[in-house]
């Protein structure tokens, strides 16, 4: 039997800031040869039911997931929960509290953009997001690209929305310990998402990894569309050093927006133990 190795455990849909519906996302991953896929929308499990149905129809193993926004000091980090129970009350309450902060922050971003000469962005971003508690910087970035204020969504982050840029709004997300409690309390495995994206210096990085591990974190993403391929070796060594399981996921948001399609990443380095050994062989 062919070993299951095309697991893609980090992807977004229209339930958060992705461009494809859960069904379209699963169809794309299946076309690309993914054998197992997780949907990990930001701070919501809304898309899991639809994604699970599509996966069953397509013969893809489905892993229910979520990507939780966490404030760790001044740094925003993302923790993915895999294999969570979407019906868990502790998880549901926690995620709702995080989503409830999104509208207020979006208002402040829109005010900053208005001062920079770009009015009406709250309404436009909301039209793209479909729901107030889903509003993300991605929706603002897409709107700015549509109006021609920037060349593409990436440039909107580089010029206005990224950390330290003029429309960036510091925000209080979930605490790390809180988010870990929601994931573990709903039967999930906690995975530190794209650790290369946080711009941490060596000491901060070690502190985060140790704290994450102490709180029950089991895995880190090594091969992800949010790491450059030349970074994979760094995070392979970190996984080995700390004894973390390794995860693999495209962090796909949409065609033309994300560097890698679901199911199309290179395999995990052979020396690592994949996180999916926790529930599949």
Binding partner of residue 204 among ligand AMP, Mn ion, none, CB under 5 to 8 Å per kind?
none
Q: Which is nearer to ligand AMP, 102 or 236 (CB)?
A: 102
Q: Give the single-character DSSP code of 118.
A: -
Nearer to ligand AMP, 78 or 236 (CB): 78
Measured from the Cβ of residue 250, the count of other Cβ atoms closer than 10 Å reads 27
Give the Cα-Cα-Cα angle 139, 141, 145 (nearest 5 degrees): 115
Q: Does 236 bind Mn ion (CB under 5 A)?
A: no
CB distance 265 to 248 below 8 Å: yes
Mention every residue, 6+ apart, whose C-beta is less than 8 A from residue 95: 43, 44, 45, 66, 68, 182
Q: Is 251 in the site for Mn ion (CB under 5 A)?
A: yes
List 7, 62, 72, 157, residue binding ligand AMP (CB under 6 A): 157
Q: How far is the CB of 136 from ligand AMP (least distance, A)?
A: 3
Q: Which stretch binds ligand AMP (CB under 6 A): 21-29, 87-95, 131-139, 264-272?
A: 131-139
Minimum CB distance to Mn ion, residue 63 (Å): 14
Angstrom distance (rounded) from CA 170 to CA 275: 32
The residues, any chain, with a CB within 8 Å of residue 167's CB and separated by 6 or more, are 109, 112, 113, 116, 140, 160, 161
Contact between 78 and Mn ion by CB under 5 A: the answer reads yes
Burial (CB < 10 A; 0-12, 13-18, 19+), residue 183, is buried
> Is the CB of 227 or the CB of 236 nearer to Mn ion?
227
- Closest among 12, 36, 6 to 264, alpha carbons compared: 6
Distance from C-alpha of 220 to C-alpha of 238, rounded to nearest angstrom? 9
43 binds Mn ion (CB under 5 A): no
Question: Which DSSP category does 159 fall into?
Answer: I
> Which partner from the list ligand AMP, Mn ion, none does 162 bind, CB cut-off 5 to 8 Å by kind?
ligand AMP
Residue 69, binding choice from ligand AMP, Mn ion, none, Cβ under 5 to 8 Å by partner class:
ligand AMP
Size of the site for ligand AMP (CB under 6 A): 10
Chain positions 39 to 98 lying near ligand AMP, rule: CB under 6 A, are 42, 69
Side-chain half-sphere CA neighbours of 203 within 13 A: 0
CA distances from 60 to 130, 138, 212, 250 (A): 28, 28, 30, 16
Nearer to ligand AMP, 13 or 138 (CB): 138
117 contacts 66 by C-beta, under 8 angstroms: no
Tokens of 9: 């455990």
Decide: is 162 part of the binding site for ligand AMP (CB under 6 A).
Answer: yes
Q: Which of residues 193-232 bind ligand AMP (CB under 6 A)?
A: none
Q: How far is the CB of 40 from Mn ion (least distance, A)?
A: 6
Binding test (CB under 6 A) with ligand AMP, winner from 10, 137, 194, 248: 137
Q: Which stretch binds ligand AMP (CB under 6 A): 93-101, 130-138, 182-190, 210-218?
A: 130-138
Pairing assessment for the beta strands 36-39 and 189-192 based on DSSP bridges: unpaired
Binding interface with ligand AMP (CB under 6 A): 17, 42, 69, 136-138, 154, 157, 162, 253
Binding interface with Mn ion (CB under 5 A): 17, 67, 78, 193, 251
């Amino acid at each position: 039997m062919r070993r299951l190795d095309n697991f893609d455990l980090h992807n977004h849909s229209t339930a958060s800031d992705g461009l494809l519906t859960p069904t379209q996302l699963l169809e794309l991953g299946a076309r690309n040869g993914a054998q197992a896929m997780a949907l990990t929308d930001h701070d919501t499990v809304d898309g899991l039911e639809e994604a699970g149905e599509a996966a069953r129809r397509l013969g893809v193993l489905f892993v229910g997931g979520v990507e939780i926004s966490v404030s760790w000091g001044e740094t925003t980090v993302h923790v993915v929960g895999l294999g969570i129970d979407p019906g868990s009350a502790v998880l549901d309450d926690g995620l709702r509290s995080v989503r409830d902060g999104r509208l207020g922050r979006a208002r402040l971003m829109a005010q900053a953009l208005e001062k920079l000469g770009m009015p009406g962005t709250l309404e436009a971003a909301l039209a793209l997001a479909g729901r107030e508690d889903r509003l993300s910087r991605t929706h603002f970035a897409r709107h700015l690209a549509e109006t021609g204020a920037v060349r593409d969504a990436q440039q909107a982050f580089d010029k206005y929305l990224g950390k330290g840029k003029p429309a960036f709004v510091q925000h209080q997300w979930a605490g790390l310990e809180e988010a870990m409690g929601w994931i573990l309390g709903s039967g999930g495995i906690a995975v530190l998402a794209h650790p290369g994206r946080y711009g941490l210096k060596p000491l901060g990085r070690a502190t985060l990894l140790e704290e994450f591990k102490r709180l029950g974190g089991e895995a880190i993403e090594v091969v992800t569309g949010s790491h450059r391929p030349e970074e994979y070796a760094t995070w392979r060594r970190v996984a080995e050093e700390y004894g973390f399981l390794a995860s693999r996921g495209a962090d796909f948001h949409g065609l033309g927006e994300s560097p890698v399609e679901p199911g199309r990443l290179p395999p995990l380095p052979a020396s690592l133990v994949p996180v999916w050994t926790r529930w599949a062989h």
